[in-house]
Amino acid sequence: MSNLTLDPDFARVLAILPAPPPQPTTALSLRAQINAGFNPILTSYTVPPSVIETVIHIPIPSSPDTTIALHRFTPSTPPSSAPTAAVVYAHGGGMIAGAAAHSRPALVPLVLATSATFYSVEYRLAPEYPFPTPVEDVYTALEWVRDHAADENIDPSRIGLVGDSAGGGLAAGAALMARDRAFTPPVAKLVLIYPMLDDRTSIPPDHPLAALPMIWTDASNKLAWAAYLGTSGDEEVSPYAAPARAGSFAGLPRTYIDCGGLDLFRDENLAFAAGLARANVEVEMHLYPGVGHGFDFLAPGTPVARAAAENRLRALKRL
């Protein structure tokens, strides 16, 4: 028997939202559905004068004629001339959808509150670019920021990796790469917002979560992982693709994780946090009861969303 229920404030917001569209059956139709939800952000949000957004095109080491874009966000009036912390950010979208520009509303307040420089990565998407391309793109961005720290007025010992949903999985995968490739200085902080970490996650139709409203369903999760990996559940899946599969979490950066108690990713996030703790990695884990995936995006004015924003900001200020 389950006593899982919706947070009352979250439930009131869900009640006035349009009914969810039919479940997509292909990765590309799922992409269209996700982008239909994200794209209004591009038309309704304007970066304020207090923040400068610049698009930088950086080369891919394995293909110098190919570039990816970084959306750089900096305060228009830095508080001092001293080198700042930096964040390499990976957006959500199931590794098949979304864009760096969609992160503007989330990142602008963080830039203003921390005075750090944020780089949102326009990583290439599956299914056109399956694993390892998206996570290698995030790692390439991490290297670029480190290598250009002097020009960017960045303190290379204060570079963090941050991501939400699929972007959280990519940030965790890039952190594993950085550990295994002896990235120096080490990544200073890992901030994972309801991250997508494990291709093996699945819930049956009679699971208590399946009876509750879900913005990211079991069916969508399977479509996205199949697009990214070509398959899922295979024992040969790399931990750089599905970080929950890492044989060891030792040597990872100090990590912050948060997730809703009604999120499909709840159990994999809790397991990842426990693995970090057992490896004696500093970890801060927040599980918010009564809310599902993307709760802060769906209901930004609710008390639980405000609490999450405060906790994330506090974690980022420790960079």
Q: Which residue has the tokens 């793109």?
A: 137
Cα(139)–Cα(161) distance, integer angstroms? 10
Three-state DSSP class for residue 83: coil
> Is residue 228 scored above 90 in pLDDT?
yes
Kindly list the structural domains of the chain, giving each domain's residue range(s) and its CATH number in brackets, ordered by start. Answer: 8-15+25-316 (3.40.50.1820)
> Is residue 299 scored above 70 in pLDDT?
yes
Q: What is the pLDDT of residue 230?
A: 84
Provide φ and ψ at 145, rounded to 5°. -60, -45
**Tokens representing 171?**
């940030």
> Is residue 292 scored above 70 in pLDDT?
yes
> Is residue 61 scored above 70 in pLDDT?
yes
- Across the beta sheet with 117-121, the strand order is 51-60, 63-75, 117-121, 84-90, 154-164, 189-193, 254-260, 283-288
- 142 to 20, 34, 136, 187: CA distances (angstroms): 36, 26, 10, 9
Per-residue pLDDT band for 233 (boundaries 50, 70, 90) equals: low
Per-residue pLDDT band for 231 (boundaries 50, 70, 90) equals: low
Q: What is the mean pLDDT of the chain?
A: 96
> Is residue 183 scored above 80 in pLDDT?
yes
Residues 6+ apart with CB under 8 A from 212: 4, 6, 262, 292
Provide φ and ψ at 10, rounded to 5°. -65, -40
Question: Angle at the Cα of 241 (from 131 to 300), degrees rounded to 5?
Answer: 105
**Tokens representing 172?**
């965790």
> Is residue 109 scored above 70 in pLDDT?
yes
Mean pLDDT, residues 2-8: 93
The more confidently predicted of residues 244 and 65 is 244
Per-residue pLDDT band for 287 (boundaries 50, 70, 90) equals: very high
Cα(265)–Cα(292) distance, integer angstroms? 9
Percent of the chain at pLDDT exceeding 70: 99
Q: What is the pLDDT of residue 143?
A: 99
Q: What is the pLDDT of residue 211?
A: 85
Cβ–Cβ contacts within 10 Å for residue 35, how many?
16
Cα(294)–Cα(29) distance, integer angstroms? 20
Cα(297)–Cα(167) distance, integer angstroms? 15
Cα(136)–Cα(177) distance, integer angstroms? 9
Q: What is the pLDDT of residue 214?
A: 87
Closest Cα partner for 52 from 75, 85, 78?
Answer: 75
Tell me: the pLDDT tens digits for 25-60?
999 999 999 999 888 877 789 999 999 999 999 999
Provide φ and ψ at 110, rounded to 5°. -70, -40
Lowest mean pLDDT among 31-40, 107-116, 282-291: 31-40
Cβ–Cβ contacts within 10 Å for residue 222, how many?
15
Per-residue pLDDT band for 192 (boundaries 50, 70, 90) equals: very high
> Is residue 181 scored above 90 in pLDDT?
yes
Max intra-chain CA distance, the chain: 58
Q: What is the pLDDT of residue 18?
A: 87
Cα(241)–Cα(135) distance, integer angstroms? 7
Q: What is the pLDDT of residue 232?
A: 57
